[in-house]
Amino acid sequence: MNVTRHPYSFIGDSKGQDSGLPGLVDGQEAAPVETWHDGLLGYLGGSHAARDRAEKQMAALGLQAGIKFDYNVLTQWQPVSSQRLLLWAGRFGLQEEFMTALNKRHFEQQQSASITSTLLEAASEVGLDVAAAAAFLETKELTDVVWKSYGSTIARGIHSIPLFVFNVPATGAVGGPFRDGATKQPYTVKGSSSAEAFLQLFEQIATDGGVVLGPRSADLAPVTVTSSASMAAGSNDGSCSL
């Protein structure tokens, strides 16, 4: 399985202009200026009730996965440096490990992903060369790639994350928002889902590809998934294309 992450921002490549959300100051990435808790208020139209509901829902879902969200972390809606380092870590095959370490710090330990020291600590934890990571962050390398992705993902109709797109040549399911010129649609999962739901999807892909599977130990609840075959196997760091 080849995994490609695509940097994403809910406000695209607007650079924070007229968004009421933290972004850039005079074209430069700004220090975090508000907490995630504060930012959610602006994102949800200023409704305290809607923010409270959203935080409670995320907190409950997080606990099911062993995650204890802390909404008091300083944040940005366009964390260019962290997403540049995400792409850089992919050069060494440690992209997913880096994001796991960074997400743990940012979402649970109030160590903002927009602060360089947090990025370097996460890089160190997963065995990346910290000196090389620091030197990379001093450059502007991949900045244009991140900004292009911010704009292109919005332009391609992606307005919520996570989005999982599974291109499977063996089944003819190749296309989606990240494959220009393709005519067929891949298997797509919109939003977070359970491990069991993804297992069902992988088994469906295997079946569509002519793979004979062994006996199942238990039946799983159906999930809603879309694909080029209109199959119904049952059915919000950035978009993810696989």
pLDDT tens per residue across span 67-76: 999 999 998 8
The first and second tokens of residue 155, run together, are 């332009």
Helices (H), 9-115: 36-43, 48-64, 80-90, 95-108
Instruction: Give the type of residue at 211.
Output: V
Could you tell me where in the chain the CATH 3.40.30.10 domains are found?
A: 13-137
Q: Tell me the H-state helices in the chain.
A: 36-43, 48-64, 80-90, 95-108, 116-125, 130-137, 143-155, 195-208
Tens of pLDDT, residues 186-241 = 888 988 888 889 999 999 988 888 776 665 444 444 344 443 322 222 222 333 33
pLDDT value of residue 134: 95
**CATH number of the domain at 13-137, please?**
3.40.30.10
Considering only CA atoms, which of 192, 9, 191, 159 is closest in space to residue 83? 9
Overall average pLDDT of the 67-92 stretch: 93
Say if CB 190 and CB 160 are below 8 A apart. yes
pTM (2 d.p.): 0.79
DSSP, collapsed to helix, strand or coil, labels residue 152 as helix
Residue 169, preceding peptide bond in cis (omega within 30° of 0): no
Q: How far apart are CA 78 and CA 12, in angstroms?
A: 8
Summarised one tens digit per residue, pLDDT across range 153-197 is 999 999 888 999 999 887 788 888 888 766 677 888 988 888 889
Q: What is the pLDDT of residue 16?
A: 59
**pLDDT above 90 coverage of the chain, percent:** 50
